[in-house]
Structure 1
């Protein structure tokens, strides 16, 4: 964890949450008690903030300061409000273009995806609050600084984001090998959002059941899948190709 982007101590973390600081994750000491600690746990649950319980040795490695059993990782990039972001883009863009990431968990994959998204004119990236890769210094480095340029928003549930986008006239396209349709037959020259799945299991079945289209990439070799950041790049540039030809 980058010490420049951490908050330690229960009261300090509660204040950071109340101030709506962009928190990536909170590490909590196993086996600790106390009313203030319970208050922090309750706030974490209410806000849907990613957290994990770890041994005190882990916290001692994260900071040499008096952490009181809690250390928070603060994102160096602010997150946008989902509805405000979508509505603002819909007002400005004739053909809005969104990207949803379903549990992409590797920070370097995330950074590479952000970099390609910026190059392809993606208007906003939508990730879930739980299970998504945090924005770290490695993410920013891999994105070549694009993380500061593409608006990113966190939502409680991607399902709700999909319903909201669909009600706003956005066509949702899932990148999945579980499709008979190839990417090149999908019409991307309209308001659209592409969904990319997790590195190990792809897009969850519950999300696949909501999308408007499912599309796959043709794979001519013996390996059955591409790295998610590479696959995402192909999908994003197919949108660019269709919109610029």
Structure 2
């Protein structure tokens, strides 16, 4: 279980991390800022071991290029979960496992948005590959709007081999691909893994070969592709819809 130092920028990201009990070493706050959200962050921080530093705007700008909203936290990176943690979460909710697997998502905004969607759709976790993909950066945390504190993320060495292991544990896999059958015509109930591919090249050949279903999203416009996080949301909620109708 690896930790690395990284920054959280923005009020929502910092406050959610504090409330979820994530380890934060230092918090840098714009000196003189006294509004409600900042006071709440200070109050929550004082319940922890975090060191509060009141600094000039230039110091915050040095720490991050992001829109920091007057607060930056220096935190240990989120601990990656294990596959068993995802199964345990499903068992605690008495639900069939529902995981979202990402095949080479490189844009931190996409990863953050997908984690947020995963949380809201009731997925039990997100699985990402170790290489050629973004990890849990501060941008991911901020874009997830706090969901990263509640939805476990597993990092695996080989996505294709992990899918084989998950198949042995009862999961079926559906991946998003324009060449597939329309998602509304497929049975997406039961233990399922939703696979979303790279922003440019889509799902890789080896991963696609491991999938039981290839699902397409109906496209009625003048362009033929969706942003990866939007595609994940559309398919995740088709899975939610089908589960509700069971």
Q: Give the TM-score category using the shorter length.
A: 0.5 to 0.7
| Superposed CA RMSD | 2.4
Equivalence for 2:95:
94
Length-normalised TM-score, structure 1? 0.67
CA distance in 1 between counterparts of 2:76 and 2:114 reads 17
Equivalence for 1:133:
134
Equivalence for 2:218:
218
Q: CA 1:79–1:185 in 2, change beyond 3 Å: closer, same or farther?
A: same
Per the TM alignment, residue 206 of structure 1 is displaced from its structure 2 partner at its CA by 1.0
Equivalence for 1:169:
170
Give the unaligned 5+ runs of structure 1.
7-60, 63-73
Per the TM alignment, residue 94 of structure 1 is displaced from its structure 2 partner at its CA by 3.4
SS in 1 for 2:184: helix
Length-normalised TM-score, structure 2? 0.67
CA distance in 2 between counterparts of 1:242 and 1:177 reads 21
Per the TM alignment, residue 81 of structure 1 is displaced from its structure 2 partner at its CA by 2.0
Check conservation: 1:75, 1:134, Cα contact below 8 A: no
CA distance in 2 between counterparts of 1:98 and 1:222 reads 31
Equivalence for 1:234:
234
Give the unaligned 5+ runs of structure 2.
8-61, 64-74
Check conservation: 2:124, 2:151, Cα contact below 8 A: yes
CA distance in 2 between counterparts of 1:94 and 1:137 reads 31
Per-residue displacement from partner, 1:106-146 (whole Å, max 9, x unpaired)? Answer: 00011011111100001011000111112122111111010
Q: Is structure 2 residue 183 aligned with structure 1 residue 187?
A: no
Q: CA 1:4–1:129 in 2, change beyond 3 Å: closer, same or farther?
A: closer
Per the TM alignment, residue 178 of structure 1 is displaced from its structure 2 partner at its CA by 2.3
Per the TM alignment, residue 76 of structure 1 is displaced from its structure 2 partner at its CA by 2.3
Check conservation: 2:112, 2:144, Cα contact below 8 A: yes
Per-residue displacement from partner, 1:173-215 (whole Å, max 9, x unpaired)? Answer: 0111121x11111212211010000001000011111111110
- Number of aligned residues: 178
Per-residue displacement from partner, 1:31-84 (whole Å, max 9, x unpaired)? Answer: xxxxxxxxxxxxxxxxxxxxxxxxxxxxxx99xxxxxxxxxxx862110123x2
SS in 1 for 2:127: strand
SS in 2 for 1:104: coil
Check conservation: 2:90, 2:124, Cα contact below 8 A: no
CA distance in 1 between counterparts of 2:132 and 2:97 reads 26
Check conservation: 1:95, 1:191, Cα contact below 8 A: yes
Equivalence for 2:122:
121
Q: Is structure 2 residue 246 aligned with structure 1 residue 243?
A: no
Q: CA 1:195–1:75 in 2, change beyond 3 Å: closer, same or farther?
A: farther
